[in-house]
Structure 1
């Protein structure tokens, strides 16, 4: 697969985006033809999904579009719609535009994508039945059970799903352009969040500053913002958002993304209040190591290797800062490094923040297991051109894990006074989104931070 073009971004002309999208749809046609052949089906049907309602209540949960649907179309707020892809034919979009005076209904279909589809507008969900292929048994229907319509219930045939999800790892140039635009939005919001932190605001107010700069709220963002001051940075998925600012802000960890046309970015940064503090020096050391890890995102590299190398690099930093009393190699071998780096180095990213098929051995199924002793790694495949991944090493001072270390046989492998020195700062995580190419990797995150420096 050809490497994504560096010029494929939102600054390109509308004609360029049109051309990228045409290539993208052509690639989806190719994948669909092979997937249907493997499953023995004639048609691919993808419902966009429906609203879910809360139990014992009449309130609906926030709508989340079927990822298999938004792979084809930049439509993320259109429940009750359907995509029909039949080899040799122009795909059909059945577009639900209901009569509704309680809510704002979807606008009439328009945009760069529309010429690639036959569009049928319906007013009621059941009207889709008249336009679906006549024999439901000949259809691979990908979706959740709630999307069933008459005889057309999602069957999610495994050969079809395995093929499509495996190949979703390879981003088309159009997809890279969408991810770059999501990153541009996310970096803008990260800049605003850092400024709010420097101004001494609370976690909640920093979160609001982020959403305001991203122009996205909780339902638009690809995942819930992690906004952690001081020791809260030691909670890997901290989402409490304290309403009051601490008496003293020492550090700030933000893990927050943004979305564009269904594609996500995932960015993490860590800051110290005092640039002269030793914790800032520790941040700088992790940042430098992270850049080297990003450079490992090259064709033929086993992603598991990046993860294992990260443990050794981070243990080396702990040794340099006097936290480790043993060698980095011994810390990795005994599992001590995992006390400070207790998660995986990253994951695939694209239509979903944690992209699917991270463990797939091939497009016919199978599984590539995680390395022994590393249960939280989310990707075990060998990198190839077009793959997009996150690289997110971290060092944390987590009371629960440190208590286990103190009570274990390796308690004397660390300097507990040094740990107490860093414990009030919580932790450090640095995360970039990186695209593998035929040559040097494209670091979408660093590109956008540099552009706004």
Structure 2
């Protein structure tokens, strides 16, 4: 039987022209005469010529769709230009010939010039890159200091440009939604692949390799460091070298399209092929919370309120499991719930897996909302009213973290609300997270990652139990 492969969608030139037109329409009303956005540079691994795969800055990608190293997208005087760092002709031997300026201009619908032609305007606004090398390069070009990763602290024109970008990227256009559907759908299929091979594997990395290979079959690369671990109580466990033994395997794996749009999907399944009694009880409790939250992810709903509702439902579920005792609101207010559910319900999704978090809380919180100093809200990445064409993740979890449980014992109020004998009964569960990518619409929410098996019956069937 021949192998099947999947082609990613490719946005037409008109998509980027439309985005650039929207950008230009927003510059004048926001007091911006000229702006530039850098693409960045490949970052060395252990010496200069051994680099990580290049991935352009997301704001640059939004308007060009191309990973062009050492490039600058500029808008000034109503003209859009792309400036490119000229490559050494000798590089063609090793990397192949680059596209000509004429070829790029035709492909992108932009005037393309060598970087040596660039002349910065006084007051030209920009957004800071994530790496120091690009920040120093951009500082030299603009003759002013641009600090890497300074997006949360921007002022003047840079701050105005950041808000323009949030307004443009918060609600996805049709081309971006096509990319996100593909990324989420193929990421879900990677989880299905992981389940199908899990019982034949002996190490976590073998499952991870199969999942990432499935992404590669669709021209996707990991959108973030994949998490494949039996240590589910460690929220972002980077290591995947452990043995597969009795218990649950937590897999947080998502792919990124060639244009940079991300999928972010998590499933948790029994490495044995069948959920044990306590594993099934805990898993179905988390699943009920997740399904309720997905159903509530509608236009006009505050994501912060959706998160709080999920927390209260989770508190009720943990009372039902015997892990906590008390009223859900009291368990939420005291912080007892946060011992077992210590993170937010989800986040924005787009060109960044945590979309536009390079700009601080501007996208996730908006101009009015502020982060609350409450155990259940400190790690909440999204707290704004949902609008049609936003894409968010919904990812409640249940964890038995030795660190958090130890701290809970030191808090007299919380210690009394936890039933410690039941904690021991469930401790082998370690960690469960269930995450889907959800499109907000004027009607019912759409689960973009529905291709990943999720119910107990679906998972066990896929595992071959």
In the alignment, structure 1 residue 70 sits paired with structure 2 residue 42: no
Q: How does 1:230-249 map to 2 (within 5 A)?
A: 232-243=231-242, 245-246=243-244, 248-249=245-246
Q: Which residue of 2 is the match for residue 7 of structure 1?
A: none
Correspondence for 1:251: 248
Where does 1:419-438 land on structure 2 (aligned, <5 Å)? 419-438=423-442
The alpha carbon displacement at 1:22 in A equals 2.5
Comparing 189-198 with 341-350, greater Cα deviation is found at 189-198
- Which deviations, in whole Å up to 9, do the C-alpha atoms of 1:259-284 show, x marking residues without a partner? 01111011011112323533123212
1:323 maps onto 2:323 in alignment:
yes
The 5-angstrom pairing of residues 232-381 of structure 1 reads 232-243=231-242, 245-246=243-244, 248-260=245-257, 261-272=259-270, 273=272, 274-356=274-356, 359-360=361-362, 366=367, 368-373=369-374, 374-381=377-384
Q: 1:106 to 1:306 in 2, by over 3 A?
A: farther
Partners of 2:254 and 2:263 within 8 A in 1: yes
Q: Would the alpha carbon gap of residues 378 and 104 (structure 1) be closer, same or farther in structure 2, given more than 3 Å must change?
A: same
2:377 is the alignment partner of 1:390? no
CA displacement, residues 221-244 of structure 1 (integer Å, 9 cap, x when unaligned): 211011111xx100001111125x
Rounded to whole Å, the distance in 1 between the matches of 2:36 and 2:202 is 48
Find the counterpart in structure 1 of residue 151 from structure 2. Answer: none
Conserved in 2, the CA contact under 8 Å of 1:233 and 1:427? yes
Q: Aligned residue for 1:30?
A: 22
The alignment's C-alpha RMSD in Å is 3.4
TM-score normalized by the length of structure 2: 0.81
Q: Gaps spanning 5+ residues in structure 1: where?
A: 1-9
Give the Å deviation of 1:140: 2.7
What do the CA deviations read for 1:71-106 (whole angstroms, capped 9, x no partner)? Answer: 112223x211222335754x4334557330464247
Q: Does 1:137 align with 2:122?
A: yes
**Given the alignment, which residue of 404, 408, 411 partners 1:405?**
408
The question of 1:85 aligning with 2:75 is answered yes
Preserved CA contact (<8 Å) 2:188 2:450: no
Counterpart-to-counterpart distance in 2, 1:185 and 1:140: 37
* Structure 2 spans left out of the alignment, 5+ residues: 1-5, 130-134, 147-156
- Residues 312 and 332 in structure 2, CA contact (< 8 A), matched pair in contact too: yes
3-state SS, counterpart of residue 25 of structure 1:
helix
Aligned residue for 2:3? none
Contact 1:51–1:62 (Cα < 8 Å) also in 2 = yes
Structure 1 segments (4+ residues) deviating >6 Å = 10-14, 54-58, 109-113, 450-453
CA distance in 2, matches of 1:24, 1:310: 38
Which piece of structure 1 moves more, 277-286 or 388-397? 277-286
Residue 199 (structure 1) aligns with: 200
Aligned counterparts of 1:142 and 1:45: Cα–Cα separation in 2: 8
Kept in 2: contact 1:92–1:117 (CA 8 A): no
Note the alpha carbon deviations across 1:156-198, whole angstroms, 9 max, x for none: 7211122212432111111111111111321222112222323
1:440 to 413, 429, 444: 444
Structure-2 change in CA distance of 1:389 and 1:183 (3 Å): same
